[in-house]
Each structure stands twice: as C-alpha cells, then as structure tokens.
A = this chain, B = another copy of it.
Amino acid sequence: MPSRSSLKHKLYTIIFEAETPAGKAFDVTILILIIASVTVVSLESVVELRRNYLNLFLTLEWIFTILFTIEYFIRVYSTPKPLKYIFSFFGLVDLLSIIPTYMSLIVLGSQYLLVVRVLRLLRIARIFKLTRFINEGQQLSNAIRASLTKISVFLGTVLTLVVIIGSIMYIVEGTASGFTSIPTSIYWTIVTLTTVGYGDIAPQTALGQVLASLVMIMGYGIIAVPTGIVTVEMSRTDKKMATTKVCPNCHQEGHPENAYFCYNCGYEFHR
C-alpha cells in the first residue's frame, strides 16, 4: 500500500473505513443522503404529492443521483482493486442505485427502481463501529444459514402440499367462490396456510370450509417447525459460544465446563 498516491490512500481511508473522524462524518452524510433519497422516491409515488411538488422531487432526485455518482467514481478510483469492488455486492448496489435516474430520461417510470438505494443502508452498519451489532448479526445469520438445509427440506414438503391442497380446493369450491383456477387456488392455500387470510377469496361451500379448517389447523402446526429449527440452531450456536473452554496445551476449543482433561490431547487442566 505504500506505493499508492497519497490522495488515493486518503480517500480510501475516508470512504472505505470508519475509524477516522473524517471517515465517520462521510458515512453519516451518506446515510442521511440515502434515507432522504429513498423517502423522496417513496413520496413522489403519492399522486397528490407528485401533482404539487413534482419539480421539487425531480430536482432533489437529480441532486442525490449526482452526489451518489460522484461517490461511486471516487470509490472506484480510490480502491486498490477497482474490478473487485465493481463486481462486489455493494459495488453493484451502488451502481444500480444511480442508473435508474439516468434511465428515466429514456424510459418513463423507471425512477421507482431507485428504491434499490435502500439496500445501501446495509453497508452503513459500520458507521458507529457497532462491532456489537455486527457480532450479533453474524451470530443470527450463522444460525439461519445452519438451518437452511432443514428449512428447504421443510419448504419443499410444504410447497408440494400446497399444490395438492390448492387443486383439491379448486375442484371442491369451483369458480363461483373465487377459486377461478388452480394457480389462484394455490395462492389461496398459501394465504391460508401462512395465516395471512386476506379474505379476498374464501370458501363458501360446507365441504370447502371443512377443508379450509383442516388447512388452517395444519398451518398452525406447521409454523412450529421453522420456529423449532431456528431456535435449536440458535441455542446450539449459543452453547458453542458459552463452552469455549480452550486447552492451554493444544488450543482445542469446546470443552465442557466440568472437563478435567482435554479431549483432544489428554492434557490435564489445572483446577
């Protein structure tokens, strides 16, 4: 890194790191800009507001876009590995969050895609050097990742079930009750099984209501499964962190609290 130009290095520490006061100030500014920008895009979609404040919205949008464009190019310039940044998750998000405004010159309505900017918020977690937050988030996402295989087996079973139930309800209720096709019935089944229950489609016949009751009770039981999976996984992660008694001889982790000997090298612990 000493071979890089002084300006480049300075920009790098400001933009990609958050330890220095300048870096923190930069990150806070960007955070505020992102929230303001997402708010403007959201409000612009409200008809009454658009009618009255269209010019204000357009002006603000262009200001945000130009600022984010400048930021993007400084990032590309200052990072030691530009290509790696450009094709990283956050690099793509940064790019996607400026393109729609330029696109809106050509394609009408594409400025709503600007909402993708909210994804940029994820990178701001670093701002307050919230290692505490980051650790907890890490722990959470570890537990969720470890449960993914179980959850996908579970989801596969549920989706198969949903297709079967949806088809049966289509045959039982028919188009008169709003079950106009099998895909619509499948949609209804998901709405019911997840206990969302819009009520835009609801069974009318006695048999349909009996079947719907079964689906609801099933959904009630089914919700227990992902909860159980995630809880067990979290509790496991939790325990791993709680019982990290380390062997002073071979540095093996994970000994029970009441261990007298290392299970890896047989070293006797001092009590």
Contact = CB atoms under 8 A, between A and B. Distances in A.
A261 B264 contact: yes
A119 B183 contact: no
Interface of A: 38, 41-43, 45-47, 109, 112-113, 115-116, 118-119, 121-122, 132-133, 136-137, 139-140, 143-144, 149-158, 160, 163-164, 166-167, 170-171, 175, 180-184, 186-187, 190-192, 194-200, 202, 206, 209-210, 212-213, 216-217, 219-221, 223-236, 238, 242, 250-266, 268, 271
B171 A112 contact: yes
Stoichiometry, as copies per complex, reads: 4
Q: State the majority secondary structure of interface residues on A.
A: helix
Given A199-B198, A232-B235, A42 B182 contact: yes
B118 A163 contact: yes
Contact of A45 (B163, B183, B191): B183
Contacts of A266: 260-261, 266, 268
Contacts of A42: 163, 167, 181-183, 186
